[in-house]
Amino acid sequence: MKDAMKDTIIENLELVLGEELKKKNLSISVAESCTGGLLGSRITDVPGSSAYFMGGMIVYSNEAKIKQLQVAKDTIRKYGAVSEETAREMAKNIRELFQTDLGIAITGIAGPDGGSARKPVGLVYIGLAYKEDLKVYELKLKGNRENNKWLSTEYALYFTYKYILSKEEFS
């Protein structure tokens, strides 16, 4: 039953978001750290996603975030790779690099190790960029590595969908 429900949820979020992006003629790009490409994979599981998905980057290491995605070295040094500030820069920079309407970024600690008292396993930041509007959502997930990765992408799709619906200029 759990797997059947998971498949339904997967299909619905990707499809619904994709339909909105197509209907409103919006493009999207993604920058992923702890999800390792899962978000981009889920978006491109939808036939016809090339109409709105321009690409993405997996920037797992700090070096990749700095060199490829152009996150400021000072941002990572001061706040860490898993932070609101880093997620904000990741979302902004991926949108600019791919010249898309929307940029989504995910950075976090999937587990089972890598966490600390200040930044525990399951801490995830999702950045969303549209023009000068930059939003960051904080998650505190409690699952295992696979579930934390999955839920991170689920929330990213959901937040993006809700954001698109909330913007009058997209109507």
Domain count, the chain: 1
Q: For residue 28, give the 3-state DSSP assignment.
A: strand
Q: What is the pTM of this model?
A: 0.92
CATH number of the domain at 10, please: 3.90.950.20
pLDDT band at 12 (very low <50, low <70, confident <90, very high): confident
CA 99/CA 1 separation, integer angstroms: 41
pLDDT tens-place string over residues 18-72:
999 999 999 999 999 999 999 999 999 999 999 999 999 999 999 999 999 999 9
For 64, the domain range is: 2-170
